[in-house]
Structure 1
Amino acid sequence: MKNCLVVDDSKVIRKVARHILESLDLTVTEAVDGQDALTQCEASLPDVVLLDWNMPVMSGMEFLQALSATKMEARPKIIFCTTENGISHIKAAVEAGADEYVMKPFDRETLESKLAIVGVI
């Protein structure tokens, strides 16, 4: 079973994402910010990270940069999940290493299609 790390400072978003992801047969872990996510990735690398943009402590972009700087055997797929919908934000996320981009609020169908695009399901 593949696993997904949901990184969001909103408990509600993490809960909604967990419900959807578990219904797609993924194992889900959660992180409250980028630093928490980085620590978890260093301990056990997930197959995919569903990543919020705006968070305290360490933002999604800062997490991506820190993840890229670490020496890991493999790299998880990264799906940015945010309310930031400007083309400049999407371009910046992809250039920083994101594999896909999904807008909040999202539904099961949208998330499932993004996971399929990155090859997780």
Structure 2
Amino acid sequence: MKTCLVVDDSSIVRKIARRILEEMDFQIVEAEDGQQALEACKEAMPTAVLLDWNMPVMDGYEFLGHLRRLPGGDAPKVVFCTTENGMDHISRALHAGANEYIMKPFDKDIVAAKFQEVGLVALPE
């Protein structure tokens, strides 16, 4: 079973992402900040991470650095999902090990397209 860790301090964003990703056959684990997400990854490494940038305790960028240094932390496909749309943010995220970057607000089509691009879901036939 494919798992996706949805990391966002907004419960509404996590709920919307959960609905979209469950339709794409992912089992969902939720975290409301980077620290919780890191603990979840130490317990069980997910297939994918949908990651917010701006969160309390530990932001998405800091979490990504920690994730990539964990044993097996190079495996999950990480898709940043944030309101930060500056080229400097996008470049930093990709340089730190993110696989893709999407802007909020998002919808099912955007998430599906990005997850297809990184090889997490098959192209529709």
Q: Indicate the TM-score class for this superposition, using the shorter chain for normalisation.
A: over 0.9
Task: State the partner residue of 1:89.
Answer: 89
- Equivalent AA in structure 1 for residue 56 of structure 2: P
How much has 1:73 moved relative to structure 2? 6.8
Distance 1:73 1:57, change over 3 A: closer
Q: 1:36 to 1:112 in 2, by over 3 A?
A: same
Partner of 1:40: 40
Q: Shift of residue 71 of structure 1? A: 2.3
Specify the alignment match of 2:15 in structure 1.
Answer: 15
SS at match of 2:18: helix
Percent of aligned pairs sharing the same letter: 55
- Give the structure-1-normalised TM-score: 0.96
Identify the residue that residue 103 of structure 1 maps to in structure 2: 103
Q: Specify the alignment match of 2:69 in structure 1.
A: 69
**Once the 2 structures are TM-superposed, how far is the Cα of residue 108 of structure 1 from its aligned partner?**
0.2
TM-score, normalising length: structure 2:
0.93
- CA gap of 1:64–1:73, structure 2 versus 1, over 3 A, is closer
- Distance in 2, matches of 1:110 and 1:92, equals 21
Unaligned runs of 5+ residues in structure 1 are: none
**Structure 2 residue identity aligned to 1:3:** T
Question: How many angstroms apart in 2 are the aligned matches of 1:108 and 1:9?
Answer: 20
| Number of equivalences | 121
Q: Which moved more, 1:68-77 or 1:33-42?
A: 68-77
Counterpart Cα distance in 2 of 1:61 and 1:83? 13
> Secondary structure of 1:50's partner?
strand
**2:45–2:73 Cα contact (<8 Å) kept:** no
**Root-mean-square deviation (Å):** 1.0
Gaps of at least 5 residues in structure 2 are none
1:99 to 1:74, Cα distance in 2 relative to 1, 3 A: closer
